[in-house]
């Protein structure tokens, strides 16, 4: 293992299970245990568990009033002020040109405190960007407590049954959070998910991570790695930062307008999004389904409309559910409409694909 790679507190558990470990976003992470297909199937049909301890946890607070809320609303695309206590929302942190620094989830923990879950590869960048824009009067504080937590994503149709065993009570509503003390551990329980299935994210003290991992497994969750996480999220067309989201394109180009409130007076990058909304965009992120048998589509493969190069894949897998290649790509406007047939160049040969309505399943 590269000495520069970070490790989650659950590395011994992964190694004991025989996980195949790989570098990911600066971390040493399990890509699979038994295999991508059985792990994918477990999440779709019963229950799976992912180690998400590499993701970041930020806390934003103000002594009183709306200072924390107003500050977050000046940085994030969604409407933070609309959140009630314990409610969450998906949002974007943008650069000055409207490009995506990170996609994240923000929860309102109390009237004056907020809990943010950010991407692993963006922890330092997010923190530095946000810290550099804190109010000069000191009315808002920002804390990066990522090292204090182990994160577990438990996903699948058996979610509610497992939660009753683990917590002895009801889960929060979808896109909400709850704080609970169980067996002496202060837990943050969120109900979002990156698979398209019902599920929850459990953030527990890092010192208790191994215990809660085992509790979840004992409650019926199958350990699943990054490979299954990728096939699951892509079947639902959930974007991956660094692949489908980047600093060079806006969330409008990615088709994520639902997480943007252009009625807010201002937020970083808003003027660029306003212009795109008014005048259109050069390309759009679309979902492509292979029409014939083909090798698996992969990021970087070129996409053609006739003889014209119109885009490049940013994500691609063989779908375990559909048994065919699926991908997402930024396609030039004019060739991006649903039903358009394109060709994906795979290993020097072109294979037909069709733009379909998201998601794949």
Tokens for 153, please give them. Answer: 């994503």
- Helix (H, G, I), strand (E, B), or coil: what is residue 339? coil
Measured between alpha carbons, how far is 303 from 346 in angstroms, rounded to an integer? 9
Give the chain's count of helices (H) and strands (E): 8, 20
pTM of the model: 0.96
Measured between alpha carbons, how far is 191 from 204 in angstroms, rounded to an integer? 15
Tell me the C-alpha to C-alpha distance, in Å, between residue 259 and each of 104, 224, 268. 10, 28, 14
Sorted by where each starts, the structural domains of the chain and their CATH numbers stand as: 282-356 (2.40.30.110)
8 A C-beta contact, residue 72 and residue 140: no
Measured between alpha carbons, how far is 327 from 235 in angstroms, rounded to an integer? 9
Q: What is the pLDDT of residue 169?
A: 78
Measured between alpha carbons, how far is 151 from 153 in angstroms, rounded to an integer? 7
Q: What is the pLDDT of residue 88?
A: 98
What is the secondary structure of 257-293 as a DSSP string?
A: GGG--TTSS--TTHHHHHHHHHH--SEEEEEEEESS-
Q: What is the pLDDT of residue 170?
A: 85
Strands of 20-24's sheet, edge to edge? 6-7, 27-32, 20-24
- Asked if the bond preceding 359 is cis, omega within 30° of 0, the reply is yes
Measured in degrees and rounded to the nearest 5, phi and psi for residue 113 equal: -130, 145
Q: What is the pLDDT of residue 350?
A: 98
Q: What is the pLDDT of residue 2?
A: 79
Tokens for 242, please give them. Answer: 């660094």
8 A C-beta contact, residue 283 and residue 312: no
Q: Which phi-psi region, left, alpha or beta, contains residue 25 (left: φ > 0; alpha: ψ -120 to 50)?
A: left
Measured between alpha carbons, how far is 348 from 291 in angstroms, rounded to an integer? 17
Measured between alpha carbons, how far is 119 from 182 in angstroms, rounded to an integer? 27
What pLDDT tens digit does each residue of the chain (361 aa) get?
A: 677 899 999 999 999 999 999 999 999 999 999 999 999 999 999 999 999 999 999 999 999 899 999 999 999 999 999 999 999 999 999 999 999 999 999 999 999 999 999 999 999 999 999 999 999 999 999 999 999 999 999 999 999 999 999 998 789 999 999 999 999 999 999 999 999 999 999 999 999 999 999 999 999 999 999 999 999 999 999 999 999 999 999 999 999 999 999 999 999 999 999 999 999 999 999 999 999 999 999 999 999 999 999 999 999 999 999 999 999 999 999 999 999 999 999 999 999 999 999 999 9
Handedness of CA 128, 133, 134, 136 (dihedral sign): positive
């Amino acid at each position: 293992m590269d000495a520069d790679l970070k490790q989650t507190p659950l590395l011994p558990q992964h190694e004991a299970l025989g996980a195949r470990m790989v570098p990911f976003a600066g971390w040493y992470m399990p890509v699979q245990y038994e295999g991508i297909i059985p792990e994918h199937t477990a999440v779709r049909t019963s229950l799976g568990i992912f180690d998400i301890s590499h993701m970041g946890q930020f806390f934003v607070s103000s002594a009183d009033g709306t200072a924390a809320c107003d500050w977050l609303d000046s940085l994030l695309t969604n409407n933070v002020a609309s959140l009630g206590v314990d409610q969450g929302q998906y949002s974007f942190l943008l650069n000055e040109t409207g490009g995506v620094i990170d996609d994240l989830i923000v929860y309102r923990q109390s009237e004056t405190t907020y809990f943010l879950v950010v991407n692993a590869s963006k922890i330092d960048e997010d923190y530095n960007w946000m810290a550099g824009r804190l109010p000069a009067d000191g009315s808002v504080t920002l804390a990066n407590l990522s090292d204090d937590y182990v994160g577990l994503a438990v996903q699948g149709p058996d979610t509610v049954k497992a939660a009753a065993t683990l917590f002895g009570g009801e889960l929060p509503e979808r896109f909400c959070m709850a704080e609970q003390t169980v067996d002496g551990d202060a837990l943050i329980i969120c109900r979002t998910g990156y698979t398209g299935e019902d599920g929850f994210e459990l953030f527990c003290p890092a010192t208790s991570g191994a215990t809660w991992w085992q509790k979840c497994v004992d409650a019926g969750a199958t350990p699943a790695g990054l490979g299954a996480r990728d096939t699951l999220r892509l079947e639902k067309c959930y974007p991956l930062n660094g692949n489908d989201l980047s600093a060079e394109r806006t969330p409008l180009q990615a088709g994520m307008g639902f997480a943007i409130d252009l009625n807010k007076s201002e937020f970083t990058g808003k003027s660029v999004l306003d212009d795109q909304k008014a005048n259109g965009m050069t390309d759009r992120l679309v979902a492509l389904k292979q029409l014939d048998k083909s090798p698996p589509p992969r990021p970087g493969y070129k996409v053609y409309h006739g003889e014209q190069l119109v885009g490049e894949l940013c994500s691609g897998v063989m779908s375990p559910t559909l048994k065919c290649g699926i991908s997402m790509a930024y396609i030039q406007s004019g060739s991006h409409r649903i039903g358009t047939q394109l060709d994906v160049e795979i290993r020097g040969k072109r294979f037909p694909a069709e733009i379909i309505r998201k998601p794949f399943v």
